A and B are shown apart, each in its own frame.
Chain A
Amino acid sequence: GEDVEQSLFLSVREGDSSVINCTYTDSSSTYLYWYKQEPGAGLQLLTYIFSNMDMKQDQRLTVLLNKKDKHLSLRIADTQTGDSAIYFCAESKRGSSNTGKLIFGQGTTLQVKP
């Protein structure tokens, strides 16, 4: 099946770390993504990870992938008020019958308090 699940809401204080979690069910997924969406805007790709990787770090962002548990997380270090947004986890699959289409989770609203 194709199901991506996320917790709906996370609140942190400015300067703390934020960890947003995601679970997926399709073991054939080969790319896993994190997108950020600010109010009224489109989707901004933050980072992505290949399924043969365990971790990827990009400045303040760290992505961890646990393939056994089909669990993906996004850690934002030193969270700022500008990080307040909805964060979507998404998966896509390789293969002749798939053309990179993304399956999204419901999104996690991150609220950063000053």
Chain B
Amino acid sequence: DAKTTQPPSMDCAEGRAANLPCNHSTISGNEYVYWYRQIHSQGPQYIIHGLKNNETNEMASLIITEDRKSSTLILPHATLRDTAVYYCISTVRGSTLGRLYFGRGTQLTVWP
């Protein structure tokens, strides 16, 4: 079962920052936060993951609160192609326990 909570939908103007929140209040100390997105009719795509420090890559930034009970995925300049369902997942990394359980995610719609 998914152990994270996300709003079902959000929208954002093209060119603006999209900030997608996620609550993971029961996260364990050895669990990472992963973000994936799924564009219609495609397989999910890995975006970013982190443990406790903020992370940034070419796609997005991940801000994790100090108590690790919530996080925010930031798309700094959203484009129409960023319209997708975004999934936030907490899981143990790099072991036989490290499987991903997807919830319903957040449908992000970027409008012109």
Q: Say whether A associates with B.
A: no
Give B contacts to A, CB under 8 Å: none
A residues touching B (Cβ–Cβ < 8 Å)?
A: none
